[in-house]
Chains A and B, each alone.
Chain A
Amino acid sequence: MNIFVCVKQVPDTETKIIPTADGSFIETNSIKWIMNPYDEYAVEQALLVQAANAGSTVTVLRVGSSKDTEALRTAMAMGADEAYLVEAQDNLDSYMIAKALKGAIAKSGKTPDLILSGKQAIDDDCLQVPQILATMLNMPSVSVVVNYEGSATDITVKREVEGGALEIYGVKLPALIACNKGINTPRYASLPGIMKAKKKPLTTLSLTDVGVSDADKRVKYSNFQLPPEKPPGKKFDATDAAKMASVVKEVVGLLRTEAKVL
């Protein structure tokens, strides 16, 4: 099987986000970049499917800046065979990213049997790219998947919806599956894996190579700013057992009379 995995490189979840002075994006210089956490599940799932289907290859794709290739190197250290990087700024919109991924798949010369991705990237949180890419490729797809079983031609996946309910889908491959936490436990890259990854092929493409231009822009962002700081709230000490009941009563009362939420 030709298995493709789409990954994104995002700021670590502990990163403090600082908008640029002109509000056009965020300061990216001092950021620690990681593979989008949901994409780790996609890489792991690709490796599990590869192991179950002899002769399969796993190709990783990423669209973004070439300053750091952490996400692709990590994916190859985990076991992926090769990688494509489409060089672009880190704030392309979902439509452009999906079109670039489609172009990169075409450039690889392989016809996909299975495409895996994370359910969303934790930077722009759009939850669009997997669905756009599947639609562009006229491929069935299921998003927010927490369970994957099946053969090289037919799979059964579980999609998580409101309240933790699960929709169980039967899907004919080729298909695109967008993974959520819970689908598997991603492996750590081993030291030999990290060494081997350095010798695995990483092909760099430009947006022009994959047929993407400014005319593909669909979403314009501006005015990046920090959320307004809340004024300090009221703090009550209930560590003293004698005062505890009266403190709790007071807070519950305030929720009705002052905050008016009950």
Chain B
Amino acid sequence: MANILVFTELHGTHVKGVTLEILGRLSGHNVEVATIGTLPTEAIAELAKFGALKVHSLKGANLEKYSPEGYANALKGFIASGAFDYVFAGATSVGKDLLPRVATMFDAGMASEVTNFIMEGDKFAGTRPLFAGKCFAKVELTGPKPHFVTVRPNALGMNANPTSAAASASESTVDAGAIRAMIKDIVKGASEKLDLTEANIIISGGRAMKEAANFKILDEMASVIGATVGASRAAVDSGFAPHAMQVGQTGKTVAPTLYIACGISGAIQHLAGMRTSKVIVAINTDPDAPIFTKADYGIVGDLFTIVPIMTQEFKALLGK
């Protein structure tokens, strides 16, 4: 059995879904959870249900907003006060930025963005995609402890029957130290929807979308089924969509439950970024497009007529 700390971010009154995915997989170990800020009652109950034995709210000056140095100093101080074998976090914007910094403060190693892992006794072994998913490898950690791991959202899946019930909640004061790179402002993105990397359903448009304005038919479908809209590199390079929406090796690697590719031919670098999606639907006029080799359901035809019909069908199915 290992002593494990899971770092979580807060999303309103809840923790991020990936935190619960991680907890589900660590059942049977001595697992504690920490966040910077105050864990709301709902979040504590959620964490307890999924197996956290202790939950910690870490507080201190200059920690209202994320800063790489402030969060790293604060988390380092807290970790050093315990005896953890492992520190886990979701591979989110904060997790990916923060964990390598904290790991280095302990001269320790870190496995990035694993999509699966097991704990044999107190030994971690993970699987992670490399070359944007063109191949996979086993990853293990060595050297000073604690060892650090980030986990890709949506990859492990949620434990359907969490059984635990109670966790002890505590507050600790932490020191953010000197901060030389400080957030002055935050500009919200165009979309309030879930980020591509965390989305359960993604609808992506390719070069065949022809122009930026045509993405509105994808937006309409997305609002019906609660999806996030993405784009291929060809669409981004053509100026139809911003880089933040790009799926693929030079964009975001995604693993949603449902991926709908509209007018995307399926270049190797795009396939690499979305092939681990659980179910793939492809719509393309070219019956020989490579995307069809990865699609569970391929529809040969014109996306501009098919997408609106599909949106209506989704509405009927979901009673909207």
A residues whose Cβ falls under 8 Å from a Cβ of B: 11, 13-17, 19, 23, 26, 37-38, 93-95, 98, 122-128, 131-132, 134-136, 140-144, 156, 158, 160-172, 175, 180-182, 216-227, 230, 232-239, 241, 244-245, 247-249, 251-256, 259, 261-262
Nearest 9 CB-CB pairs, A to B? A218-B109, A164-B189, A238-B301, A164-B244, A162-B195, A140-B180, A140-B181, A161-B93, A135-B104
| Set of chain B residues within 8 Å of A135, measured between Cβ atoms | 72, 100-101, 104-105
Instruction: Determine how close the nearest CB of chain B comes to the CB of A63; give it in whole angstroms.
Output: 16
Residue B190, interface by CB 8 Å: yes
Residue B160, interface by CB 8 Å: no
Residue B207, interface by CB 8 Å: no
List the one stretch of B44-52, B138-146, B208-216 in contact with chain A. Answer: B138-146
Q: Tell me if B189 and A125 are in contact (CB < 8 A).
A: no
Q: Tell me if B109 and A95 are in contact (CB < 8 A).
A: yes
Q: Tell me if B242 and A254 are in contact (CB < 8 A).
A: no
Decide: A244 near B306, CB < 8 A? Known: A135-B72, A224-B136.
Answer: yes
Q: Tell me if A169 and B183 are in contact (CB < 8 A).
A: yes
Instruction: Determine how close the nearest CB of chain B comes to the CB of A180; give it in whole angstroms.
Output: 7
Residue B182, interface by CB 8 Å: yes
Residue in A closest to B67 when the chains form the complex, CB atoms? A169
A180 and B298 alpha carbons, distance in the complex (Å): 33
Q: Tell me if A233 and B183 are in contact (CB < 8 A).
A: no
Q: Tell me if B131 and A17 are in contact (CB < 8 A).
A: yes
| Set of chain A residues within 8 Å of B133, measured between Cβ atoms | 227
| Set of chain A residues within 8 Å of B130, measured between Cβ atoms | 17, 123-125, 224
Q: Tell me if A256 and B317 are in contact (CB < 8 A).
A: yes
Q: Tell me if A125 and B137 are in contact (CB < 8 A).
A: no
Q: How many A-B residue pairs have C-beta atoms within 8 angstroms? Tell me.
A: 271
| Set of chain A residues within 8 Å of B183, measured between Cβ atoms | 167-169
Decide: A94 near B110, CB < 8 A? Known: A238-B300, A252-B313.
Answer: yes
Residue in B closest to A162 when the chains form the complex, CB atoms? B195
Decide: A219 near B300, CB < 8 A? Known: A131-B101, A262-B318.
Answer: no
Q: Tell me if B243 and A180 are in contact (CB < 8 A).
A: yes
4 more A-B contacts (CB under 8 A) besides A23-B137, A164-B191? Answer: A126-B113, A224-B136, A235-B292, A252-B314
From 296 to 319 in chain B, residues with beta carbon under 8 angstroms from any chain A beta carbon are 296-302, 305-306, 309-310, 313-314, 317-318
Instruction: Determine how close the nearest CB of chain A comes to the CB of B29; give it in whole angstroms.
Output: 21
Decide: A165 near B189, CB < 8 A? Known: A220-B142, A225-B135, A227-B275.
Answer: yes
| Set of chain A residues within 8 Å of B132, measured between Cβ atoms | 122, 125
A245 and B299 alpha carbons, distance in the complex (Å): 12
Q: Tell me if A144 and B258 are in contact (CB < 8 A).
A: no
A163 and B135 alpha carbons, distance in the complex (Å): 27
Please classify how large the interface on chain B is, using the bins under 10, 10 to 19, 20 to 34, 35 or more: 35 or more
From 77 to 106 in chain B, residues with beta carbon under 8 angstroms from any chain A beta carbon are 92-94, 96-97, 100-101, 103-105
Residue in B closest to A243 when the chains form the complex, CB atoms? B301
Residue in B closest to A38 when the chains form the complex, CB atoms? B250
Instruction: Determine how close the nearest CB of chain B comes to the CB of A186; give it in whole angstroms.
Output: 13
A225 and B131 alpha carbons, distance in the complex (Å): 12
| Set of chain A residues within 8 Å of B67, measured between Cβ atoms | 169
Give 5 pairs: A residue, B residue, CB < 8 Å, sorted on A.
Answer: A26-B135, A165-B188, A168-B187, A218-B141, A234-B297
Q: Tell me if B243 and A259 are in contact (CB < 8 A).
A: no
Q: Tell me if B258 and A128 are in contact (CB < 8 A).
A: no
A11 and B130 alpha carbons, distance in the complex (Å): 12
Q: Tell me if B309 and A245 are in contact (CB < 8 A).
A: yes
Decide: A13 near B269, CB < 8 A? Known: A135-B101, A218-B141, A248-B313.
Answer: yes
| Set of chain B residues within 8 Å of A241, measured between Cβ atoms | 305
From 252 to 308 in chain B, residues with beta carbon under 8 angstroms from any chain A beta carbon are 253, 257-258, 267-269, 275-276, 278-281, 285, 287, 292-302, 305-306
Decide: A126 near B142, CB < 8 A? Known: A162-B198, A247-B299.
Answer: no
| Set of chain B residues within 8 Å of A244, measured between Cβ atoms | 301, 305-306, 309
Decide: A252 near B317, CB < 8 A? Known: A122-B249, A218-B142.
Answer: yes
